[in-house]
């Protein structure tokens, strides 16, 4: 298995464009956010050029996350060029029964080139994400078969089939796998695997997530892990791009700190959007899922899971480097937050299940 990490949105997107330009057979894109402007316009131009060379191209974009693309003239331009495009789970405001379509999003982020190379992680195709601290990985090897299968199933389910029976395939590679998450309980593979890892971790559990609004089961497991002596470190942004999520996250801090969970807040001016988890030098994850209810219970997500020591050590080195630019939160400091902040945290508890 070959891989390479990209630690900013800009580096990841530039690498993705390069691979698109050298594609010889197919380009498949699955994206939560695909803007038709700026960096997105560059992607669209490259895709049109490759289509003119005879390359087969498919784009699967989320109808909410990529609403700018859905409502643009670029869609007709793409289809006229022969590029196939679908939007997952369109929102129809006039249908009361379709309120759930505001959730159950396709939050996965995949670029598959010639069914031999895949890019995945947290990076969306949008200018504002260019300077964010994120983690994407480019992979070549047997795990690509699992990614291709996952893409095909989502492509066939789009646009309106929000719930479907996902059938993961398993390759002979014991070091890498591609796990998915879906709104169906039986298809929440990332959620169940993450819960298992928390419960079985013995030495350390290092988590980076831009949004921390976990389910009661996940949060309880994290607290129990810390109490039994596991070094649980949580790295989150001091300020994310979703203020409401920051407020919701704050309501977990006191019970987390009391249990022994160490919370670090990334302090540089650019946003931390990376989504990685490392445990005991034996398990690592990078992909699209956040540690929140929206990702782990309500959205379609995709993560690379690895048991390869070198891969895990690279993820761990990124984590340790990010800690140097982060502030360790103390219980005393957090208890001194404003009364307004405390009230907002309390008010938001009823909607944690959809954050």
Looking at every residue in the chain, the average pLDDT score rounds to 92
How far apart CA 315 and CA 300 sit, in angstroms, is: 23
Predicted pLDDT of residue 341:
86
Predicted pLDDT of residue 184:
83
Predicted pLDDT of residue 346:
85
The CATH number corresponding to 176-354 among 3.30.870.10, 3.40.50.720, 3.40.1080.10, 3.10.110.10 equals 3.30.870.10
Predicted pLDDT of residue 276:
98
Axis crossing angle, helix 339-347 with helix 243-250, rounded to the nearest 10: 100
Predicted pLDDT of residue 14:
98
What are the sequence ranges of the domains in the chain?
A: 2-157, 176-354
Per-residue pLDDT reduced to its tens digit, 91-117: 776 554 555 666 788 999 999 999 999
This prediction's pTM: 0.93
How far apart CA 26 and CA 40 sit, in angstroms, is: 19
Question: Roughly how many angstroms between the first and final C-alpha of the chain, as a whole number?
Answer: 35
Helix, strand, or coil (residue 353): helix
Decide the pairing of beta strands 26-31 and 56-62.
parallel
Distance (Å) of CA 135 to CA 13, 117, 213, 273, 315:
11, 17, 20, 8, 9
Decide the pairing of beta strands 291-292 and 84-88.
unpaired
Predicted pLDDT of residue 185:
84
**CA angle at residue 195 from 334 to 345, to 5 degrees?**
30
Predicted pLDDT of residue 237:
96
Predicted pLDDT of residue 322:
97
**CA angle at residue 317 from 316 to 320, to 5 degrees?**
85
CATH topology of 2-157 equal to that of 176-354?
Answer: yes
Predicted pLDDT of residue 352:
74
Q: Which residues of the chain have pLDDT under 50?
A: 96
Per-residue pLDDT reduced to its tens digit, 166-201: 777 777 678 999 999 988 888 899 999 999 999 999
CATH number of 2-157: 3.30.870.10
How far apart CA 105 and CA 122 sit, in angstroms, is: 15
CB 45 within 8 A of CB 21: no
């Amino acid at each position: 298995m070959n891989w390479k990490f990209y630690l900013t949105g800009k580096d990841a997107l530039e690498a993705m464009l390069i691979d698109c330009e050298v594609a010889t057979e197919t380009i498949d894109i699955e994206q939560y956010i695909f803007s038709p402007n700026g960096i997105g316009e560059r992607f669209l131009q490259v895709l049109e050029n490759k289509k003119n060379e005879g390359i087969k191209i498919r784009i699967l974009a989320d109808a909410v996350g990529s609403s700018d693309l859905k409502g643009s003239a670029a869609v007709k331009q793409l289809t006229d060029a022969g590029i196939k495009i679908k939007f997952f789970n369109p929102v129809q405001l006039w249908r009361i029964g379709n309120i759930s379509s505001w959730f159950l999003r396709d939050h996965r982020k995949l670029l598959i080139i010639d069914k031999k190379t895949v890019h995945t992680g947290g990076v969306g195709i949008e200018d504002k994400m260019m300077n964010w601290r994120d983690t994407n990985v480019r992979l070549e090897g047997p795990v690509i078969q699992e990614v291709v299968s996952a893409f095909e199933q989502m492509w066939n389910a789009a646009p309106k089939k929000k719930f479907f029976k996902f059938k993961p395939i398993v390759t002979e590679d014991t070091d890498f796998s591609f796990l998915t998450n879906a709104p169906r309980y039986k298809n929440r593979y990332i959620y169940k695997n993450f819960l298992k890892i928390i419960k079985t971790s013995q030495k350390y559990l290092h988590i980076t997530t831009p949004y921390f609004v976990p389910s009661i089961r996940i949060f309880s497991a994290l607290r129990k892990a810390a109490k039994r002596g596991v070094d649980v470190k949580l790295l989150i942004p001091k300020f994310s791009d979703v203020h409401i999520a920051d407020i919701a996250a704050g309501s977990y801090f006191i019970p987390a700190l009391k249990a022994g969970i160490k919370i670090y807040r990334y302090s540089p001016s650019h946003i931390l959007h990376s989504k990685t988890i490392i445990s005991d030098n034996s398990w690592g994850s990078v992909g699209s899922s956040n540690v929140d209810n929206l990702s782990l219970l309500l959205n379609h997500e995709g993560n690379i899971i690895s048991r390869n020591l070198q891969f895990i050590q690279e993820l761990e080195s990124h984590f340790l480097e990010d800690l140097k630019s982060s502030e360790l939160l103390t219980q005393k400091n957090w208890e001194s937050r404003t009364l307004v902040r405390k009230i907002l945290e309390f008010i938001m508890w009823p909607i944690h299940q959809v954050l």
